[in-house]
Amino acid sequence: METTIQVSKDLRETLQKRKLAEKESYEEVIWDLIEDAMEISEETKKEIEEAREEFRKGKVKPLSQVKRDLGL
């Protein structure tokens, strides 16, 4: 089922600027934004897991140690 949504003038202008082609629809722009957000989310989850693994392996230093090493 298709529907119409209302957006502010500012949002419409922002969506217009994000179009990759003049004929690209706002729906395509919105889907691209959603896809980008999902990719970032998955990438962030991966980075968090990698950081946890480094922590478990003891490959991290406390901030106080890093400051000492840098002479701060």
pLDDT in tens, the chain (72 residues): 888 999 999 999 999 999 999 999 999 999 999 988 888 888 889 999 999 999 999 999 899 999 999 999
SS3 content of the chain, % helix, strand, coil (to 5): 70, 0, 30
CB atoms within 10 A of CB 26: 15
pLDDT at 46: 92
In the chain, where are the structural domains located?
Answer: 24-70
CA atoms within 13 A on the CB side of 16: 7
pLDDT at 42: 87
Is 20:31 a contact under the CB 8 Å cutoff?
no
